[in-house]
A and B are shown apart, each in its own frame.
Chain A
Amino acid sequence: MQEIVMPINNQSMALLCLFVPLLPLAGFIINGLGNRSIAKGLVSLIGSGTVLASFLITVYLFIDFQANGSRAYTVDFYDWISVGSLQIGFSFLIDQLTLLMMLMVTGIGFLIHLYSAGYMSHDENFGKFFAFINLFMFSMLLLVMGSNYVMMFVGWEGVGLCSYLLIGFWNKNTSYNNAAKKAFVMNRIGDLGFLLGIFLIFITFGSVSYPQVFAEAANYTGGIDSTVMIAITLLLFVGAMGKSAQIPLFTWLPDAMAGPTPVSALIHAATMVTAGIYMVLRSNVLYVLAPTTLEVIAIVGVATAVLAATIGLAQNDIKKVLAYSTVSQLGYMFLALGVMAFSSSIFHVLTHAFFKALLFLGAGSVIHAMSNEQDIRSMGGLRKYLPITFLTFLIGTLAISGIPPFAGFFSKDELLAHVWEHSKVLWALGMLASFMTSFYMFRLVFLTFFGTFRGTEAQKSHLHESPISMTLPLIVLAILSTVGGFLGIPAVFGEGNHILQNYLAPIYGYAQVANAPAVAPLHLDHATEWMLMGLSVAVAAIAAIIAYVMYVSKKTVPVPEGERLSPIHNLIYHKYYIDELYDTVIVRPLMWLSTTFHRVLDVLVVDGIVNGFGKLTTYSSRTLRYAQSGAIGFYLMVMVFSIVLILFLNFFIG
């Protein structure tokens, strides 16, 4: 039985909780106001220092939480919105999931801040960058810490805003600005769904605060798969689709690579894009009440995973490959959610945050060394020049491909085992995506770090390993990518050793009450588990070998721009023409509709009425002014005749 979440009455703990998001906000204000007047060293000290402090406080909170018997608590600060029966408090909910996300966000956030200090050091808007990224930390922490859906929504919008600001950080480039706008607009579509979901939650449960909603949902009498539940969960999932780049709202994420690389690592790989998964996981009790929605999520997830992976096969921009890989991995996470492998999903979120942040930062290091060159056709042989980057990047690749004992293996294997249990077709598709993931990642590594250098002489002479502030985060993340998987050791290697699953078990308490069979733990016999594990490793290894043969032994290099490709290759290279499709099906008709409305409704009707009144007044005045001739005799005559007329009328009628 789920115990009731109590507000904490320890003032100093409450204050500590408050400091976690407030410190980055302070950093934002200081760096934002003093954009160019603060020295760069101080800017990075404030920017990174505040996040480090948040991380340390989070660690303390985590230890304290564990020491006090892992009891979830809320921290209430004040009544924020109080209208009739709608009571929304400004309060935090501290439980296992929140702490995990907080540790991930602040920990990886700090490493990326540290990295940014080196990566962005030549940028004139250094202060602005740190201000925005600190604001992002604040919003993200608000998102994960809030104790009700409205606070989550505030954080949700905040991270969307920061994403917009940072994608368009180099705002002198129009295409970057367009990418930022695209991300913002696509997110808005999702946000609308999320917002409607919140409204529906309030209507159904009379509250938006997690403890109340979940307690109500646990005793929900409408039964499994009621229309309301499906509507709520689907609407929330639409929000998650936008934020976490799922079909059909995924095209913004690859374009978001226009932003500086640390931003891609922090926002568009490790933290913000996993907000959708966090939200579904947070609402797990609602989702177990709507298995139909979960089925939809699983299908959307696996479709995204496969589609994005195929696109990733043919991309030549180092960051675009990673972006499609992120979309694909997010698809995996949703697939896991869809098959109710909630813990596996968050496990993959965690390991993915490690290795994808690592890969992006590694890519950033390569781009930094290559003087802002991002095309892998111009790279090659960088192994010799960037040894640390190469080694860490390789670890990241091994992790994402699912080669044991790196982190990705454990999370992906566990995830796929759950999918196997649920549906063999989904599993097969998942394996296909896994194969492609391994292939394109090794393709990336081989083209970038092996072979001979294909860039210009100027680039070659400039090649250098990145400074310590950039390599240190790489090393730390590489270590995490290596050992991170041991948080979730499969049952084969000892029952009950899955630290993460045991740790997270309490957050499914309400789901247990609502729909117990749905959240029953996975029970595969060991033979099956061994087989699945062996298969996934084999698939990854085969893909890696194929990539090796193609790009190292045969020294194939992707053809330059403009040359003819085979039809399928062409289709994939152009991302299935999805952007063009959206442009034709949605953007253009919408533009046409807007223009038509502008011409007809706005110009003709609205402006017509307003301007019509003006014109009528002018016209009648112009006509009437002829009466004012200035001839006094005429005036008098009119006056006399009028008086006579009135008298007559009075005489005959009155």
Chain B
Amino acid sequence: MNNIPEVIRTIPLDYYLFFSAALFVIGVIGVLTRRNAIVIFMCIELMLNAVNLLLTALSAYRADASAQVFVFFIMAVAAAEVCVGLAIIVMTYRNIRSTDVQLLNYLKW
């Protein structure tokens, strides 16, 4: 079995770049347009993973392992963030019986 960097390199780098960019833009548009907090949350995960993918691809092409260290960090942080974020969403739902972010506009003048 070939090692993983070689498998990654079987696909040209440009493809990864375009794919990551597409994923990231989908995430951004999702965050901006959706009103459901959970969907927004998932879109954020999408953006994080787009970055992860990009980092992994570049790591393989450049034979530099330090990018992968970032990936691990991002995964750990994302897990922690999900923990807290979902808890907040649950609490919000319990209070206003909804997960619609448009309703959460109390913090204003």
Contact = CB atoms under 8 A, between A and B. Distances in A.
B53 interface: no
Interface in A612-654: 625-626, 628-633, 636-637, 640
Nearest to A643: B28
Contacts, number: 25
Highest count of chain B CB atoms <10 Å: which of A625, A626, A632: A632
Contacts of B101: 632-633
Interface in B86-109: 101-102, 104-109
B105 A631 contact: yes
A637 B28 CA distance: 9
B31 interface: yes
Contacts of B35: 633
A637 B107 contact: no
A: interface residue count bin: 10 to 19
A636 B106 contact: no
B32 A629 contact: no
Contact of B32 (A626, A630, A633): A633
B109 A625 contact: yes
A630 B28 contact: no
Interface residues of B, number: 12
B31 A630 contact: no
Interface string B34-58: 0100000000000000000000000
Contact of B107 (A626, A630, A636, A640): A630
Contacts of A630: 104-108
Interface in B61-103: 101-102
Nearest to A640: B28
Given A637-B32, A640-B32, A629 B104 contact: no
B78 to A, nearest CB: 18
Interface in A366-424: none
Contacts of A633: 32, 35, 101-102
B31 to A, nearest CB: 6
Contacts of A632: 101, 104-105
Nearest to B31: A636
A631 B102 CA distance: 6
A633 B31 CA distance: 8
Contacts of B105: 629-632
A629 B102 CA distance: 11
A629 B31 contact: no
B93 to A, nearest CB: 16
Contacts of B109: 625-626, 628
Nearest to B107: A630
Contact of B108 (A629, A636, A637, A640): A629
A642 to B, nearest CB: 13
A647 to B, nearest CB: 13
Highest count of chain A CB atoms <10 Å: which of B32, B101, B106: B32
Contacts of B31: 636
* A-B interface, 8 closest residue pairs, ranked by CB to CB distance from nearest: A630-B105, A630-B108, A625-B109, A632-B101, A628-B108, A637-B32, A631-B105, A628-B109
14 contacts: A629-B105, A629-B108, A630-B104, A630-B105, A630-B106, A630-B108, A631-B102, A632-B101, A633-B32, A633-B101, A633-B102, A636-B32, A640-B28, A640-B32
Given A636-B31, A637-B32, A640-B28, 10 more contacts: A626-B109, A628-B109, A630-B104, A630-B106, A631-B105, A632-B104, A632-B105, A633-B32, A636-B32, A640-B32
